[in-house]
Structure 1
Amino acid sequence: MPQLIATDLDGTILFDRKVAPADLDAMRRWRAAGNLLVVDTGKSVFATRDTLEPVGLAFDYAVAFTGAVLADGDYRVLASRFLPDGLAHEIVMSLRGIDGLTVFATTLETDYVVEDTYHEVSPILQVFVPMEPEEMTEHRFIGVPMRVRDDDVRRRIVERLTERWGEAIEVVRNQEFLDVIPAGATKGAGLADLLARLTGSDGSRSGESIETWSFGDSWNDISMHTVADHPVALPWSPKEVVAACESTAGSMAELVESVLGPRRGRTTATTTAGEKRNR
C-alpha cells in the first residue's frame, strides 16, 4: 500500500527558515522508499518556494495557503480557490486603524503587505511586496494573512470577520497569524482533495488506497489531522492539537523512523520532548 506523509512547515519541520539535517535526510529516505511527501502549509506557493528551495527540500505535492491551492512538486498550480472579487479589499479596509497588526494580501504569484504597525519582519513570512489598498482592485486574491500578537485583539478580529463575512470565508489560526481564506478551504479539505485525485479515476494511482500520516503543531493543522489515518502532533503542540492526534513525535526524523524502522546498523538514543524542542 502506498504511504503518504502530509507535513506542516513552520514550527514542525521549519525553524528560522531552516530544516534540520536529520529531518531533511528522513524525508529524502521516505521518498526514496517510494512514498509520497506532501507539504500542507499556510504559506502561499510563492512563500513555500522561497523557503524550501534554498534548503533543498523536494516534495511531491503542496497543499498551500491553508488548502486554497494545490501544486505539484515543481510548484505548478493544479487547483486554486479565490476569495470573491472585492472581498479582500473590504476585509483590509475593515481592519485599518487596529494597532498591533500587520495585514498581507496574497495572489497566486505574490505576497503583498498592505498594512503594517509592527514594522518588523516575521520569520514565517519574510518576502513580500508593498501594496496600497487602492491597488487591490487590480488583482484576484486567495487570502488575507495577518500577524496579530495579542490574544484579545485576535479574538475580536475573528468575531468581527466571521460575523460580517462568515458565509464566504474561513478564519484559521497558525501561531501568531490568522489566515482569511475562501469558505471550505482548510488544510484538511486540501489534503482530502489531493487524496481524491490520487485514488480517483483521474489520479496517477487510480484504484489504490493510500495510508496517510499527518504531522503538524498548530491549530490550523487540526483539520489535516482529522483527514489522516495516523495524525501526529509535536509534543509541545497546544492541547487541542495533541487531543486530535493518536500520537506525538519530536521530529520528522523520529516519525519516519517509527514508520520505516531505523536504518540498518544504526542505533537510536531516547530523547525527551523538551530536549528535542530546545536543541
Structure 2
Amino acid sequence: MKLLATDYDGTLHYGEGIMQDDLDAIRQWKEDGNLFVIVTGRSMQSIDEQIKKFGLPCDYVISNNGGMVFDAAGKEMMANYLDYVTAVDIIYAMKEMDNVASYVVNDGFYRHKIVVDPGVTDHRYPRICRKRKCWIWENTPSLSFRCRARTRPTRWRSKSTISLARR
C-alpha cells in the first residue's frame, strides 16, 4: 500500500475544476489499494464542499495548513490549536493596529471572518458577486471594474476576463 498526498488549490484544482484525467488516475490509484490524501490551507468545511462536488475519493484530509487531520468520514483525528492566551493577544494586537481589514478565526472545521475596519480594503477575502462568480473589492478608488451581471460600475476581479471601465 502506498499513499499519495497532494495540495489542492493550484495543484489538483486549477482554473474551473479538476481535470478528468486526474480524477481517473486517482480512482485507479485507489482501486489498486492505495491511499489518497488532500493537503490544503482551506478549512474542512471548504474542502469538504469540493470533495463532494468532484467526487474525490479521499482517505484523509489535512486541512488548515496542517492544523487538522480528518479521516474519510470527516472524523477529527488530530487538532493543533494556538493556546487561548496567545490567540487573544494576537486578536487584541490586530485591533490596535492601523489598516487591518479583517482576521479569520477557525474552530477546526469552519472558518469565520471577523471585520476589524470596514473602511480598509480586504484583498484576501473579497465579497463575491453571486451572479457572475466574480470577486468584489470594496473601497478601492483606484480601480473601477464593471461586472457584467450589474448595471453600474463596481470593483471586481474575475478568474477569466476583466473589463475595465474608467470613471
Same fold (TM over 0.5): yes
Question: Whole-Å Cα distance in 2 between the matches of residues 100 and 78 of structure 1?
Answer: 34
Question: Whole-Å Cα distance in 1 between the matches of residues 71 and 22 of structure 2?
Answer: 21
Deviation at 1:60, TM superposition (A): 0.7
Deviation at 1:99, TM superposition (A): 3.0
Deviation at 1:17, TM superposition (A): 6.1
In structure 2, the residue matched to 1:77 is 76
Task: Map 1:90-239 to 2 at 5 A.
Answer: 90-96=89-95, 97-99=97-99, 101-115=101-115, 117-118=121-122, 120-121=126-127
Deviation at 1:105, TM superposition (A): 0.8
Question: Whole-Å Cα distance in 1 between the matches of residues 86 and 16 of structure 2?
Answer: 31
The aligned amino acid for 1:34 is G
In structure 1, the residue matched to 2:50 is 51
Q: Which has the higher contact order (CA 8 A, sep 6+)?
A: 1
Do the aligned residues in 1 keep the contact of 2:40 with 2:63 (CA within 8 Å)? yes
Question: Whole-Å Cα distance in 2 between the matches of residues 14 and 106 of structure 1?
Answer: 23
Deviation at 1:27, TM superposition (A): 0.9
Do the aligned residues in 2 keep the contact of 1:46 with 1:108 (CA within 8 Å)? no
Question: Whole-Å Cα distance in 2 between the matches of residues 73 and 109 of structure 1?
Answer: 14
In structure 2, the residue matched to 1:8 is 7
In structure 1, the residue matched to 2:26 is 27
In structure 2, the residue matched to 1:126 is none
Do the aligned residues in 1 keep the contact of 2:94 with 2:100 (CA within 8 Å)? no
In structure 2, the residue matched to 1:174 is none
Deviations 1:97-153 (A, max 9, x none): 44375421100232100136326148xxxxxxxxxxxxxxxxxxxxxxxxxxxxxxx
Query: Which consecutive residues of structure 1, in runs of 5 or more, have no partner in the other structure?
Result: 123-279
TM-score under structure 1 length normalisation: 0.39
Q: Which structure dedicates a bigger proportion of its chain to helix?
A: 1
Question: Whole-Å Cα distance in 1 between the matches of residues 16 and 100 of structure 2?
Answer: 24
Question: Whole-Å Cα distance in 2 between the matches of residues 84 and 112 of structure 1?
Answer: 18
Moved more, 8-17 or 61-70: 8-17
TM-score under structure 2 length normalisation: 0.63
Identity of counterpart residues, as a percentage?
Answer: 25
Specify the SS of the correspondent of 1:27: helix
In structure 2, the residue matched to 1:18 is 17
The change in CA–CA distance for 1:98 and 1:55 in structure 2 (over 3 A counts) is farther
- What RMSD, in angstroms, separates the aligned Cα atoms of the two structures? 2.2
Question: Whole-Å Cα distance in 1 between the matches of residues 79 and 19 of structure 2?
Answer: 31
Question: Whole-Å Cα distance in 2 between the matches of residues 77 and 50 of structure 1?
Answer: 17
Do the aligned residues in 2 keep the contact of 1:44 with 1:106 (CA within 8 Å)? yes
The change in CA–CA distance for 1:47 and 1:98 in structure 2 (over 3 A counts) is farther
The aligned amino acid for 2:105 is A
